[in-house]
Amino acid sequence: MNFEHLIQINDPSNPLVESLTREQLWEDLVLRAEQPQLFVLGTR
């Protein structure tokens, strides 16, 4: 069984959303791995 999950990070067709750099994306992924409680919906 193969699974694939794609997430579009920067959407060039939406000028209202600021694009992330690779460094920003990596920092956010590390934060999510180290502190997953910050990303649980309904806890803030």
Residue 20 has pLDDT above 80, yes or no: yes
The total domain count for the chain is 1
1 falls within a domain: no
3 falls within a domain: no
Given this model, what pLDDT does residue 5 score?
A: 87
Binned at pLDDT 50, 70 and 90, residue 10 comes out as very high
Contact 29, 39 (CB under 8 A): no
38 falls within a domain: yes
10 falls within a domain: no
Residue in the structure block whose two tokens are 């791995």: 33
7 falls within a domain: no
4 falls within a domain: no
Residue 35 has pLDDT above 90, yes or no: yes
Contact 10, 20 (CB under 8 A): yes
13 falls within a domain: no
Binned at pLDDT 50, 70 and 90, residue 39 comes out as confident
43 falls within a domain: yes
Q: Can you give the residue range of the structural domain that contains 44? A: 18-44
